[in-house]
Amino acid sequence: MAKSSKNIQPALKFNIKYAPAPESVSAASINEQYNLFINGKFEKPLSKKYFDTINPATEQKIASVAEAGTADVDKAVKAARAAYNGHWGKMPAKERAKYIFRIARMIQERAREFAIIESLDGGKPIRESRDIDIPLAANHFFYYAGWADKLNYAFPNRNVSPLGVAGQIIPWNFPLLMAAWKIAPALACGNTVVLKPAETTPLTALKLAELIQDCDLPPGVVNIITGAGETGAALVNHPDIDKIAFTGSTEVGKIIQRATANTHKKLTLELGGKAANIIFEDAPIDQAVEGIINGIYFNQGHVCCAGSRLFVQESVYKEVLQKLKDRIATLIVGNPLDKNTDVGAINSKQQLQTIQKYIAIGKKEGAEMFESSCALPNKGFFCRPTLFTNVAQSSRIAQEEIFGPVLAIQTFRTDDEVIEKANNTPYGLSAGVWTNKGSRIFNITTRLRAGVVWANTYNKFDPVSPFGGYKESGFGREGGLHGLNAYVK
């Protein structure tokens, strides 16, 4: 291992202070209270209940949001069914496409407002919501709009038809983007939907409801109902739903799979992950370090495909670790609305507690912790970018999904060893490989049991590219041509 004697560059001295560059919230309009979007109108909940959604960076209330009860869910499903049996089901595909194109265009037009609200409600850095979440959401609608009248080309020798009414449940880590991933292909294939956003991040979905109203989409085609787990359960268990699409934890995914076991409902699940990010000794190290940072600290690590397990070849371990620590020290943690912020607020108090629990477990299990020395804001839910070394393969922080900015680092010597370790997990959503050698990339990618493999890059998403997992990371794909399959029969 020739590189073991290589001089490691001294730690980067990085004392630049950034002046605050806060995004103005005046470009966004938010109501004090939101009702349920059913049959093209905002309706007061029959449950008469409301809950608060807060800004996780300040712990202040932003708005109160309706909590859909069983009767509200039923109303929404009925509206979706009526729309499916009525105008939407009979509309020529090319006209359906035009509505979806409208949604895409209008998201582009209102992108800044969406970005601000996404960061306010969910805690993610404005740089990410502005440059990643919102443009990708718009592009997703744009891409699937074009498929509406071309489905016969996507399914050779099959004459496909829509499923009917889709119930869709999405998580809080990419609220608008996940709504787009769910709604766009469903509509393109001719279904109608009832979507439930996560209870901590309902606002951009509700802004999407307003936008859909402004697009004159026929009533009932898209219904958006807010609430927590009980609302989701009512949706899953509703007898007149033809399809459930769920993105969230593996634990809840299994409950849903059981709940739909004896029904006609088709199911797709996009669940948790514990991705291996593998660094070979011939990798472009500086790029790889950026990839590791992006892999685990992007969106505070609230990413199902986060590169939360790092495998570094022994010969470059010291160098990678040092550079990683240096780079972590430069990450700016704080106000999500500041354009300089790299790591924003943890989405909720509950999630912060989960992350802290795992950090304690990691220490207790004998792993060595390193965290950024950055100061954290006094209010709000924040967590320093953290990594663990000396992590055993059996350690819980190497086995379980933490869903936070916590990286577990292990080393390896040979290809076979790292493949064995990387695949030794119940999950199989994604993985990363870093090497300068193309033939090795394909060797490794063919052997990794994961639905998405990034080579010399990480956390890349595109509407044309399918996404989804192997094993307990779920089944079905979202995005691309393959994403259509979840919404046709």
Partner 1 sequence: MTERIDVLKTYKLYIGGQFPRTESGRYYAVKNANGKLIANMCLASRKDFRDAVVAARSAFSGWSGKSAFNRSQILYRIAEMMESRRTQLIDELLLLGYKSVDANNEVSAAIDRMVYYAGWCDKYQQVFSSVNPVASPHFNFSVPEPTGVVAIVASQQSALIGLVSAIAPVIAGGNTCVVLAAEQLPLSAISFAEIIHSSDVPAGVVNILTGKVSELLKYFADHMDVNAVVTYQLTNQEMQLVKEKSALNVKRVVEYNAISWLDDTAQSPYFITDVQEIKTTWHPIETVAAGKSGY
Q: How far apart are CA 167 and CA 225, in angstroms?
A: 11
138/206 with CB nearer partner 1: 138
82/154 with CB nearer partner 1: 154
Closest to 35 measured CA to CA, from 72, 82, 4: 72
Residue type for 91, please?
M
In whole angstroms, the minimum distance from the beta carbon of 477 to partner 1 comes to 13
Query: Helix (H) and strand (E) counts for the chain?
Result: 17, 18
Binding residue for partner 1 (CB under 8 A) from 149, 282, 365, 371? 149
Residue 20 binds to partner 1 (criterion: CB under 8 A): no
Binding residue for partner 1 (CB under 8 A) from 42, 101, 370, 461? 101
Q: How far apart are CA 289 and CA 325, in angstroms?
A: 10
Q: How far apart are CA 463 and CA 482, in angstroms?
A: 11
Number of residues that bind partner 1 (CB under 8 A): 31
Q: How far apart are CA 54 and CA 271, in angstroms?
A: 25
Binding residue for partner 1 (CB under 8 A) from 251, 366, 442, 489? 442
Binding residue for partner 1 (CB under 8 A) from 49, 150, 339, 396? 150
- Residue 28 near residue 117, CB atoms below 8 Å: yes
What the block records as the tokens of 1 is 């291992």
Residue 145 binds to partner 1 (criterion: CB under 8 A): yes
The answer to whether residue 472 is catalytic is no
Alpha helices in 241-337 (DSSP H): 250-259, 285-297, 317-330
- Residue 345 near residue 336, CB atoms below 8 Å: yes
Q: How far apart are CA 298 and CA 150, in angstroms?
A: 35
Catalytic residue among 67, 113, 199, 270: 270
- Residue 371 near residue 385, CB atoms below 8 Å: yes
Residue 143 binds to partner 1 (criterion: CB under 8 A): yes
Residue 153 binds to partner 1 (criterion: CB under 8 A): yes
The three-point CA angle 66-39-42 to 5° equals: 35
Q: Which DSSP helix (H) or strand (E) runs through 138?
A: helix 134-147
Which range binds partner 1 by CB under 8 A, 144-152, 235-243, 266-274, 334-342? 144-152
What the block records as the tokens of 440 is 């090795």
Which range binds partner 1 by CB under 8 A, 73-81, 159-167, 218-226, 431-439? 431-439
Residue 282 binds to partner 1 (criterion: CB under 8 A): no
Residue 451 binds to partner 1 (criterion: CB under 8 A): no
Look at residue 276 and give its three-state secondary structure.
Answer: strand
Which range binds partner 1 by CB under 8 A, 63-71, 147-155, 285-293, 297-305? 147-155
In whole angstroms, the minimum distance from the beta carbon of 439 to partner 1 comes to 4
343/484 with CB nearer partner 1: 484
Which spans of this chain sit near partner 1 (rule: CB under 8 A)?
94, 97-98, 101, 139, 142-143, 145-150, 153-154, 414-416, 419, 437-440, 442-443, 446-447, 463-464, 480-481
Active site residues: 270
